[in-house]
Amino acid sequence: MSNKQNPWSVFWQKGAFASFLDEKSTLQNYQMRKFWFERMEETEAKQPILDVATGNGIVVQWLTEFAEKKGKKFDLIGVDAAVIKPSNDKLKLHGETEYESFTLPSNKKVGTVVSHYGLEYGDMATGLPHLHKQIKRGGGLIALVHSEDSVIVQTSRKVYELLPSLIKQLNKSVEPLFEAILKAAGKPLPRNAQLAQQKLNQFANKYRNDPTFHRTNFVPAVRHILQAAEQGKAAEAKHVFNDYLGNLTDHKARLATMVRAVEQAGDGQQLKQQFETAGFKNIRVQTVQFPETGIVGQCVQADK
């Protein structure tokens, strides 16, 4: 996937905190950070540590904090196929770098590979054997991987399935309606604009009790657009419309990669088989579940 086509580039370039983790969600942040701290506690991670699909480096940041807390020294490197924009320039992160072909300089080997919803977004058939070759003898891999029964996947899939309808409503109802409001300048709306308003109301009413619908902020965004149009603020109405439509389109493209990633990873047995084929040993696949939120994926641990 070229970086011009990589939908995650836009996401990371906006300074996103992490994928599938809301920066404002203290609980989620605590749970995931705790997950990685526990993995490091139970494993004597060999150096250097390579974080696959690092994004803006949240896992590298967590492991840096773990090392500081334990008085250890970690040599951490992160790679991601997308264009990234990390806020911490002290982290060694490399964007536009696919893990399927990444190598350390001077034929140096990796001690430990880690990944937080990352391996499955690349080509695992190519990437896993390549990683196996790059890991030094006695090294290993720890990865959190999507699963079909994950609350994250199930919630995201509902949004993904709803997005085409939202995008259609924006194009078919919202755009002609706010343009008609601007043109009317306070006068009665033409028949086609009234029909667009009616269809929009019916659509919103259909999903009024759907938490997935409300999660997309469709109603507040559309209300903002229409109110700006009613006040004659054409530039604002068009800006909010284009920005929101662009965000939904980008989000749909990112979630499409998630759907493919989940299918590629498969269930626990299929995941284990892929690692065995790549040459890994002592492969352990466990469901990761938090009491407060439910299942969030599968943890794969394997040795060279």
Phi-psi category of residue 107: left, alpha or beta, with phi > 0 → left and psi -120 to 50 → alpha? left
Mean pLDDT of 218-230: 97
pLDDT of the residue at 1: 43
How far apart are the C-alpha atoms of 261 and 245, rounded to whole Å? 25
Looking at residue 134, its amino acid is Q
pLDDT (mean) for 232-237? 97
Beta carbons of 287 and 298 less than 8 angstroms apart:
yes
**Is the confidence at residue 114, as pLDDT, over 90?**
yes
Amino acid at 10: V
Written as six digits, the tokens of 221 are 């965004």
User: Average pLDDT for residues 205-230, to the nearest whole number?
Assistant: 96
pTM of the model: 0.92
Residue 299 in this model has a pLDDT that exceeds 60: yes
| pLDDT at res. 28 | 82
Secondary structure class of 135 (helix, strand, coil)? strand
Q: What is the DSSP string of 138-187?
A: EEEEEEEE--TT-HHHHHHHHHHHHHHHHHHHIIIIIHHHHHHHHHHTTS
pLDDT more than 70, % of the chain: 97
Question: Beta strands 135-145 and 294-303: pairing type?
Answer: antiparallel
Residue 160 carries which side chain, given as an amino acid letter?
Answer: Y
Q: How far apart are CA 148 and CA 290, in angstroms?
A: 16
State which H helix or E strand residue 230 sits in: helix 218-230
| pLDDT recorded at residue 22 | 58
Question: Residue 93, class by beta-carbon neighbours within 10 Å (0-12 exposed, 13-18 middle, 19+ buried)?
Answer: buried
Q: Kindly state the percentage of the chain with pLDDT values over 90.
A: 90
Is the pLDDT at 3 greater than 50? The verdict is no
pLDDT at res. 188: 92
- Alpha-carbon gap, residue 153 to 190, rounded angstroms: 43
pLDDT for 131? 98
Q: Residue 21: what pLDDT?
A: 64
The predicted pLDDT at position 2 comes to 40
The pLDDT of residue 234:
97
Q: What is the mean pLDDT of residues 266-285?
A: 98
As a whole number, mean pLDDT of residues 110-136 equals 98
Strand order in the sheet with 93-94: 93-94, 76-79, 49-52, 110-116, 135-145, 294-303, 281-290
pLDDT tens for each residue of 159-177: 999 999 999 999 999 999 9
- Which domains, and CATH codes, for the chain? 7-147+266-303 (3.40.50.150), 151-257 (no CATH)
Sorted by sequence, the CB contacts under 8 Å of residue 25 that are 6+ apart come out as none
Q: Which residues pair with 295 in a beta bridge?
A: 289
Mean pLDDT score across all residues of the chain:
94
Q: How far apart are CA 49 and CA 113, in angstroms?
A: 6
